[in-house]
Amino acid sequence: MTNFEKFLDKNSVFKNISVLSPHYIPKILPYREKQIEEIMSYIAPTLKNQKSRNILIYGKTGTGKTCSVKKIMEEFEKIQSNARMHYLNCRVYNSKYRVLQKVMKDYWPELEKAGFGLPFIYEKLLETLKQQRYLIVVLDEIDMVKDLDDLIYTLTRANDESGTGGLSIMGISNKLSFKENLDPRSKSSLNEVEIVFQPYTTEQLQKILEQRVEEGFQHNAVKQSAVNLAAALTAQENGDARYALKLLMRAGEIADEKKKNFVDDSDVEEARKRVETDIIAETINTLPEMHKITLHAIAKLSLNGSKYARLDGMAEGFLMSGEVYEEYERCCRQLRKKPRSLRWYKEYLNDLEMLGLVITTPSSKGIRGQTTLIKLGHEPEIVYKITNTSFFC
Ligand code: ADP
Ligand code: MG
C-alpha 204: how far from its chain's center? 22
Q: State the pLDDT at residue 202.
A: 97
Domains of the chain and any CATH numbers: 5-17+200-285 (1.10.8.60), 33-197 (3.40.50.300), 289-388 (1.10.10.10)
Question: Does ligand 1 come within 6 angstroms of the Cβ of 65?
Answer: yes
Question: Does ligand 1 come within 6 angstroms of the Cβ of 67?
Answer: yes
Atom of ligand 1 nearest to the CA of 21: 14
Q: How far is the CA of 21 from the centre of ligand 1 (A)?
A: 11
Q: Average pLDDT of 123-149?
A: 95
Residues in the chain: 393
- CA–CA distances in Å: residue 275 to residues 203, 233, 239: 21, 12, 14
Q: Is the pLDDT of residue 293 over 80?
A: yes
Looking at per-residue pLDDT, the higher value among 114 and 226 belongs to 226
| Residue 243: CA count within 13 A, CB half-sphere | 26
Question: Does ligand 1 come within 6 angstroms of the Cβ of 63?
Answer: yes
Question: Does ligand 1 come within 6 angstroms of the Cβ of 21?
Answer: no
The answer to whether the pTM exceeds 0.85 is: no
Question: Does ligand 1 come within 6 angstroms of the Cβ of 241?
Answer: yes
Q: How far is the CA of 253 from the centre of ligand 2 (A)?
A: 25
Is residue 135 within 8 Å of residue 166, measured between CB atoms? yes
Helix 118-130 × helix 148-161 angle, to 10°: 40
Q: How far is the CA of 285 from the centre of ligand 2 (A)?
A: 17
Is residue 182 within 8 Å of residue 54, measured between CB atoms? no
Q: What is the pLDDT of residues 56-107, one digit of tens each?
A: 999 999 999 999 999 999 999 999 999 999 999 998 899 999 999 999 999 9
Residue (of 66, 243, 47) closest to 138 by Cα position:
66
Q: How far is the CA of 160 from the centre of ligand 1 (A)?
A: 34
